[in-house]
Structure formats: structure tokens, C-alpha cells
Amino acid sequence: MTTPSPQATQPSRTEQASGPPLLDGVRVIELAEDIAGPFAAKLLADAGAETIKIEPTGGDRARRTAPFAEPAPHRETSITWLAYNTSKRSVVLDLESAAGRRLLLELISNADVFVTDRTPEQLGELGLSPHELHDRLPQLIIAAVTPFGLVGSASEWPSTPLTRAHASGSAAGVRRNLGASAAAPLMAGANVHEADGGTALALATWAALIVRDRDGHGQIVDVSSVEAMMNMDRVDISIAHNDGGPPPMPPRKGGSAFGGRLECADGHLIAVTPQNHQWAGLIKAMGDPEWAYDADGRLIDRLQLGDEAAEAIEQWAGARTRDEVFRALQVNSAPAGPVLRPSEVMNSEQMQVREFFDVLEHPIADPARYPQFAARWNRARRSNRKAAPLLGSASTDAMRDHLHPWTPVQARRAGVIG
């Protein structure tokens, strides 16, 4: 998400798909906070599902998470909130009251999917025990993403994004790839892996919708965030599972005889050349310098050259632009990729053609670009997305048919809705 630039609003050259969004007509009720659950519901919403987010009086915790967009700070301008809640409607319910819990159950009873991040005990306190709810509403898909899953001795353990990342082993790869010793693990970034659980839940929920259409019944979808983090294709975790994993890489600064991080005249680039043919491609891209060959004209092994090669590679890259180095390496089959700033990615021609970023207007936050659902369909159009909702902005409209004998004004005065 970032503020739009003139380039970002150029017309697309892609063909416009016809037909309704894939999840048009699907109704989702979300009772989740922060990132994992809301991201799952956001993916469903961005694919066309009508998604109602249930919030407490003070709103989702994400509304109070820095950083904030302009004007800041404000509960409507948290970037975390804005990023993970597009295309939803916000309903505020007092779930501490019996009336609030009754209204929530009525909403769920008229939905296709119930997305939640509450533990079994928390759901039981709300009268929403998963198995009891499934027995009562057999066509409902109950989609739960919790730290350690709905079953097992750890199902009620408290946790934070940091403990989930470390419990999954995801932080081990960060430590090793940064060159730290095995005795000094590094703390993972606070929310680096949180969307993994949401991605897994959205995929599993979509599959459950297909099964329901085929067999006529809903089911409980149980996703553990920790398991979802493990399941992502992170090579270090796979290796460690089989043989304990490789030793930590030695600390490095800048380039090496294998390439690595190279500083160019206008930015950085990553070159990966551990194999012989890739090393040969790197040398060819550099113009076949004499120092890389022996007296018989054979290419010298990069390990024998060591620091001499690293220094020469750094000097070569530093005298050229990032694009020049990237293209020279790619032409010669030496894997490389530019290190792009977010603004460079969003302003790239490829992103313009793909229309991956929408400019969305918000009543309080400045207009900004938001990433799309990371898929396209040739027979279904993308949904007309909206920015994240204001707190309680749909409370009256969404609940009007469920408030009898109260009027919306009476329910709001009683604090049942907000």
C-alpha cells in the first residue's frame, strides 16, 4: 500500500474478463483480529465474497498498530488495518452481552463461511463451539486459524507473532541466512510470517466451498498458524527436518567469489553463481578479464581466486548501473535479480500491465494503492474493491433485520451495536 503516482493510473493493456467475481454470492462473517484471520477473510472478500467483519467497541487491535497513514495517528489509518481489511463491512457488536452474542449467531446462521481466530475455549464462551455449531448449521463452513490448531494440548496456549514464528522454526532460516552462529539465534521480524496462516485458511476454505457445492455439506476447517508457517516452501526447514540442517553460513559483507549482494552505481543487486556454468557466465558478463584464466586459458576455480575475485566483481558492479549489471548477467545465464524498492515495484511496467495495484479512496486516509488478489481469471472479473471500512459503518444496515423488537437507534443506545 502506498500513495498513488501518475504512472499508476495509466489504462491497462490487458483484456477485461467478463462474468461475475468467482465468489460472488458467498457470504462471510469474520470474527478475527490482527493479521492471520483478517487476511484470510480479505482474500475471500477481494475475490467477490460479501464479508462482514465483527468488531468490539474499540475496534480490531490492528486499528491501533503503527505505522499510520496520513492523518496519523487515527484508528482508521493504521496501515496494518488498511492493508488487511479491504472490501469488508464493519459491524460493532457487544459480545459481552447475551443480545450481542444472539445477533452474532443470527449473522452466522445466514452465512456461508464463518472465519475466526478464537480458540475452542473462547468460542465455547460465545456459544460458538465449533462442533456444536457444525451440528446446528451443517452447511456452514467454520474456518478457524489459531496459533496451534483447535485440538491438542497446545490449543489454548497464548502466543504472539514472535512466539509463533520461532515455534514453527521459521526464524532458524533467517538466522542461518544472515550468517549468525548457531549459538546466537536472531529474533524474527514481528509479523513476517503472520499472513501464512491466513493464506492457508483462505485456500482451505475455498476448497471446502467446492466440496459443499459437490456434496451438500459444510465442515470445520482447522488451520494452525505454526503448521502453516512450516508448510511454506522454506528450504532451511525442509533440510533441517531431514538431516538437522547445514551449518550457518560464514558472515559476509557485500560480494564474494559466488557473487552475493553487489552494490551498483544506483542500487543493489543479488547475484547467485555457485555452479561452474554460472561462474563462467559471470566472468563472461564482466568481459572475460585476464585474472579469471590460467596460462593455458582455462577458467580458474572461483574458490582459488577468493578475495581477488570478490574485489574485482565489486569494482565491476560498482562502476555500472543496476540495470546494466542485471541484463549482462541474465544474458550470460548467471542468475541475478535487482533489489527493488517497493515504489519501484509498484511503478514498474509489469505491475501496470497486470493491474496488480488498485487506487482506493478512503474517507479519512489519503488515497493509496493496494495489492490485488494475486490471481486472475479469464472468465471472471475482479471484484470492485473498496478500502477498509470505518468502525461500525455497516452496523445499522447489516443488523436491521435482526434487531427486533429494537430499532437500530434503540440497539445502539443500549450498546448492543456500535
Q: What pLDDT digit, counting tens, does each position of 8-27 carry?
A: 444 444 456 779 999 999 99
- Judged against a pLDDT cut of 70, whether residue 320 lies above it is answered with yes
Q: Quick one: pLDDT band at residue 261, thresholds 50, 70, 90?
A: confident
Residue 301 counted as domain residue: yes
Instruction: Look at the alpha carbons of 46, 47, 48, 52 in this order and tell me if their dihedral is positive or negative.
Output: negative
**Which tens digit of pLDDT belongs to each residue from 323-381?**
999 999 999 999 999 999 988 999 999 999 999 998 999 999 999 999 999 998 999 99
Instruction: Tell which of 323, 343, 363 closes a domain.
Output: 343
For residues 231 and 204, what is the distance between their CA atoms, to the nearest angstrom? 13
CATH label of the domain that carries residue 265: 3.30.1540.10
**What cell does 70 get?**
496520513
Residue 207 counted as domain residue: yes
Q: Which domain holds residue 37?
A: 6-243+355-413
CATH label of the domain that carries residue 84: 3.40.50.10540
Residue 271 counted as domain residue: yes
DSSP state of 366: P
Question: Which residues fall within 8 angstroms of residue 161, CB to CB, at 6 or more apart?
Answer: 34, 35, 190, 191, 192, 193, 194
What is the count of structural domains for the chain? Answer: 2
Instruction: Tell which of 321, 343, 365 closes a domain.
Output: 343
Q: Which long-range contacts (CB under 8 A, 24 or more apart) does 327-331 make?
A: 328/285, 328/286, 329/271, 329/281, 329/282, 329/285, 331/285
Measured N-to-C along each axis, helices 194-215 and 36-46 cross at an angle, to the nearest 10 degrees, of 50
Q: What is the pLDDT of residue 129?
A: 97
DSSP state of 406: S
Residue 320 counted as domain residue: yes
What pTM does this model have?
A: 0.84
- Let me know whether 53 and 148 are in one domain: yes
Cα-to-chain-centroid distance, residue 317: 33
Cβ-based neighbour number of residue 69 at 10 Å = 22
Using alpha carbons only, give the angle 277, 280, 282 rounded to the nearest 5 degrees. 115
State the residue for C-alpha cell 437500530.
Answer: 408
- Let me know whether 12 and 93 are in one domain: yes
Between the alpha carbon of residue 347 and those of residues 33, 60, 270, 367, 417, the distances in Å are 31, 31, 21, 16, 42
Q: What is the pLDDT of residue 165?
A: 80
Residue 367 counted as domain residue: yes
State the residue for C-alpha cell 541484463.
Answer: 327
Cβ-based neighbour number of residue 162 at 10 Å = 16
**What cell does 246 get?**
547445514
Residue 350 counted as domain residue: no
